[in-house]
Structure 1
Amino acid sequence: MRLKELIEKHYWQEVQPILLSLYSDQDRNIKSYRLVFEKIKNLQVEESNHEILIRNITESGETYVHVNAISLSEKEIDGELMTYSLILTPWNEWAGMSINAESLSTFPEKEIIVHCLWEMTFCGFDEEDVKKVSDEINDDCKNLGK
């Protein structure tokens, strides 16, 4: 199931309380999250050779939810999946990515939506803000070699 299809199955009124429960410090941004939620429903999806992977990670006794992508075309290295950050991924690509089967069996659908919304808005609640951060990082990387 793609992220957009998952979002289309649910109403914001069902998702909002879960977002506030999992990310209680985000109440000040709740209207922005709703706008992103609704925007995804109207996006033209872009096909992707990655899928969204959501896992519980425990490090130093602390457990947190980690959202990233795995390639559908690359092989595992030493038995580990190659994972990629999705923070700067265009939203139409997010919308077109399928959700990893293990993630769908581990997390309730509404929690998956919430974790994806939080991750995709990490750099801003507007796609232009996300693109600006991406461009700045790319420029910084180019300048490193000079």
Structure 2
Amino acid sequence: MKLKELFDKYTFDDIVPFIKEIITDNPDSLPDFRMAFDELRMMKPSDENSEDVLIKDFLDKNGNILANPVCWHLGYSWDECLAKHVVIDNDYPLDDRYVLAGCLWEMTFYGFSSMPDDEAEISFSIPKELKNKYDKALYRLQLSHWKHTTPRRYRWKGHSLCTDIDYHERGNKNRSKRKRDYRVECRENFLRKHSQRENFILKLTRCGAFKREEVEYLHQVDEGQYFPYTSRTWDESKRIDYILESINKYQNVDFLQFDDAIICLRASSEYPVTEDEKEKLLVGLPKSLKAIPIKIGLGTKESMMQEVEMMLFLNVIK
């Protein structure tokens, strides 16, 4: 049986119990798996002939079935994966839903969508592509620390922050060097945290959903969580219902532990989010989420086509 046939045979609810067993360390990602599953169901398999998907290593030493199997030869291209035949090692009688959940988990290892992201994360190790002032400060700090701790003969020429594999920094450092490393580590953590928050602010402002002064307080929040939702309906009239179902049915979060929320809805300029859709979303949100203050803004993201993306920021204010 081809992998595409497995996706067509079952609904996402059929494999939810198996997915939950796999993602015990990150149960909040269930809506992301739903989005990927629905995208794969709508996708057309590639016409290219490729090797089979081999399902193996699904039993522990006692013969019990593990939470997820090892799926060999899946590859990176989703349309090519869908065209592959699924072969189970030793013809062991496994539940098709278990196999499908394992394949879905493997296919989403590098992301929950095959669609290009116009805001893909950029590595901060390349200076000319740094995105904000915190990224730049972090790079300068790491570069300075690297130069002070790595002898010149062990540095890779033309590759900043890269060290020869033969070099091992001395383990027994004196007190001043330990204090230096601790200060650098604290500063790095600070810059990484604020770099992430600055990137969130840029996302919210560059799409036109908010003014900077409305969301700049994100730098002062004590802690927060970010949840992205994207509809996969290929039907403009159902996209808000899809988002609401992802939140109400699959998202397991105690919203009352947060002090406020920011919601950003983004769609293409050809299919913008209407005021009726905005009101429909606010009415359909969970009661616990509506119990805290909510800021909502409408922005533009051309790559969404007929779909809509919702970014949910939950914050604990200091």
For the 8 Å contact 1:53–1:103, the answer to whether it is kept is no
Q: Tell me what 2:81 maps to.
A: 94
Q: How far off is 1:65 after superposition?
A: 2.7
Q: Distance in 2 between matches of 1:17 and 1:59?
A: 20
In the superposition, relative to structure 1, how do residues 10 and 57 fare at CA in structure 2: closer, same or farther (>3 Å)?
closer
1:34 is aligned with what amino acid? R
Determine the structure 1 residue equivalent to 2:6: 6
Gaps of 5+ in 1: 70-85, 134-146
Pairwise CA RMSD of aligned residues? 3.0
CA contact (8 A) 2:55 2:88 kept: no
> Which 4+ residue blocks in structure 1 deviate beyond 6 angstroms?
57-61
Amino acid at match of 2:97: K
- Structure 2 unaligned runs (5+)? 122-318
Secondary structure of the residue aligned to 1:38 is helix
1:52 aligned partner: 53
Mapped to 1, the partners of 2:71 and 2:95 lie a distance apart of: 14
Aligned residue for 1:34, secondary structure, equals helix
Distance 1:115 1:23 in 2: 11
One-letter amino acid of the structure 2 residue matched with residue 53 of structure 1: L
Q: Which structure has the greater CA radius of gyration? A: 2
For residues 61-82 of structure 1, what are the alpha-carbon distances to aligned partners after superposition, in whole Å with 9 as ceiling and x for unaligned? 9x7731112xxxxxxxxxxxxx
The DSSP-based 3-state class of the residue aligned with 1:24 is: coil
Distance 1:30 1:50, change over 3 A: same
Q: Cα 1:23–1:126, aligned 2, differ >3 Å: closer, same or farther?
A: same
Q: CA deviation at 1:12?
A: 1.1
* Mapped contact 1:15–1:114 kept (Cα < 8 A): yes
CA displacement at 1:11 relative to structure 2? 1.4
Q: Superposed, which structure 2 residues align to 1:103-118 within 5 Å?
A: 105-118=92-105
Alpha-carbon distance, 1:114 to partner: 0.8
Question: 1:24–1:7: structure 2 CA closer, same or farther, 3 Å change rule?
Answer: same
Question: Structure 2: how far apart are the matches of 1:58 and 1:37?
Answer: 25
Alpha-carbon separation, structure 1, partners of 2:92 and 2:101: 16
Shift of 1:104: 6.2
**Does the C-alpha gap of structure 1 residues 58 and 38 become closer, same or farther in structure 2, counting only changes over 3 Å?**
closer
SS at match of 2:15: helix
Query: Matches of 1:26 and 1:122 in 2, distance apart?
Result: 13
After superposing the two structures, state which structure 1 stretch, 52-61 or 95-104, moved more.
52-61
Structure with more helix by fraction = 1
